[in-house]
């Protein structure tokens, strides 16, 4: 008899994550906790895949019948180029963080932006009709910018050091997107930090949240530490905050749902983040 918590058998199904490096990824803990909670005889493992080897890794997914593959840094662009078909999100972003099989085809998707909006919803925050400010224009920022516009944001202002990247990112929000600066905070309902500022031992505050209106919500994609310097500063101003763990859990939850067809056990997945 095989199942969650027992040794794998001939029936065990495999999913995993490719990245470089990947050994510190929290994804195996999050996905395996979900399989246990659902009673699925699945296992999720980390595959260290060096740069240049993504096409070979995806050929392996096909050949080995791997059920689902998460894709993390630095492979999201290479995976987008190597799959057979892209979802609308993955095509717009040029980045894939989730691969599943549809018969012989490998389908690339991007669950980062949807996962972020899901994490807001879990905290009772709806971006529809809201004026949003996003700090950063990298991969995570672009996913969030597009998702906020799709969720009905009234405006998505992008603040970034590199002006060219800021314009490219703002365009992902369509007519609602524009490049701006710190003066946008005074009229904002939602501020999102999508830069690495405040990560780990970095005590820097990504931006002074002081000018935000009293009703504004401040979200940080950085999840280590959970209480980032920006979130500490926002709470000191009396503002509501949303941490980055929720996005980490919900982007994984969307992957799990696509691969298994089952409703993701969010609480079990969230509890597994800290291991
Ligand atoms: P990325 O592609 O390298 O982009 C980083 C962005 O941050 C760039 O726009 C860069 O600006 C800006 N930036 C970097 N250092 C900065 C600084 N000192 N001051 C101001 N701006 C700075 O990174 P990413 O993949 O988008 O990830 C960004 C952050 O989001 C990381 O901390 C990552 O851990 C987090 N993240 C969290 C989740 C989650 O599930 N919670 C998911 C994905 C990412 P320039 O363009 O000017 O260089």
Q: Would you list the DSSP string of 196-227? A: STT-TT----SS--TTS-TT-EEEES--SSSS
Nearest residue (CA) to ligand 1, atom 40 = 248
Q: How far is the CA of 195 from the centre of ligand 1 (A)?
A: 3
Query: 72, 221, 231, 247: which to mutate for ligand 1, most atoms within 8 A of CB?
Result: 221
Binning pLDDT at 50, 70 and 90, where does residue 3 land? low
Mean pLDDT for the stretch of residues 30-35: 98
pLDDT score for 51: 96
Angle between helices 139-150 and 112-122 (to 10 degrees): 60
Mean pLDDT for the stretch of residues 215-231: 97
**Helix or strand run (H / E) with residue 169:** helix 163-171
pLDDT score for 104: 87
pLDDT score for 1: 45
Dump pLDDT digits (tens) for 232-247.
999 999 999 999 999 9
Active site residue 83: no
Exposed e or buried b per residue across 211-221, where buried means at least 16 C-beta atoms within 10 angstroms of its C-beta: bbeeebbbbbb
- Inter-CA distances, 203 with 40, 57, 218, 242, 270, Å: 41, 38, 17, 18, 25
Q: Which of 26, 31, 75, 76 is catalytic?
A: 76
Dump pLDDT digits (tens) for 94-121.
999 999 999 889 999 999 999 999 999 9
**Helix or strand run (H / E) with residue 115:** helix 112-122
Contact 168, 137 (CB under 8 A): yes
Residues at CB less than 6 angstroms from ligand 1:
112, 136-141, 160-162, 165, 194-197, 199, 221-223, 244, 247-248, 251
pLDDT score for 103: 87
Two tokens at 143?
Answer: 């996913």
Dump pLDDT digits (tens) for 151-194.
999 999 999 999 999 999 999 999 999 999 999 999 999 999 99
Classify 100 as helix, strand or coil: strand
């Amino acid at each position: 008899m095989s199942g969650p918590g027992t040794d794998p058998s001939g029936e065990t199904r495999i999913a995993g994550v490719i990245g470089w490096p990947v050994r510190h990824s929290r994804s195996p803990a999050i996905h395996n906790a979900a399989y246990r909670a659902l009673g699925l005889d699945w296992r999720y493992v980390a595959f260290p895949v060096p740069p240049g080897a993504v096409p070979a890794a995806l050929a392996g997914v096909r050949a080995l019948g791997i059920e689902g593959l998460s894709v993390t840094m630095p492979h999201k662009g290479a995976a987008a180029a190597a799959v057979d078909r892209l979802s609308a999100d993955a095509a717009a972003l040029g980045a894939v963080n989730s691969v599943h099989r549809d018969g012989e085809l490998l389908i690339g998707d991007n669950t980062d932006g949807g996962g972020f909006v899901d994490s807001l919803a879990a905290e009772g925050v709806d971006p529809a009709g809201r004026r949003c400010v996003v700090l950063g224009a990298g991969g995570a920022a672009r996913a969030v910018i597009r998702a906020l516009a799709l969720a009905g944001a009234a405006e998505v202002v992008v603040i970034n050091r590199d002006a060219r990247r800021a314009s490219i990112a703002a365009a992902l929000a369509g007519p609602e997107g524009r490049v701006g600066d710190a003066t946008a905070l005074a009229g904002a309902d939602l501020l999102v930090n999508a830069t690495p500022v405040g990560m780990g031992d970095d005590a820097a505050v990504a931006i002074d949240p002081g000018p935000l209106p009293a009703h504004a919500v401040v979200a940080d994609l950085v999840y280590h530490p959970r209480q980032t310097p920006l979130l500490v500063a926002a709470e000191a101003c009396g503002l509501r905050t949303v941490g980055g763990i929720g996005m980490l859990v919900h982007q994984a939850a969307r992957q799990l749902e696509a691969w298994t067809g089952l409703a993701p056990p969010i609480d079990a997945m969230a509890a597994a983040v800290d291991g």
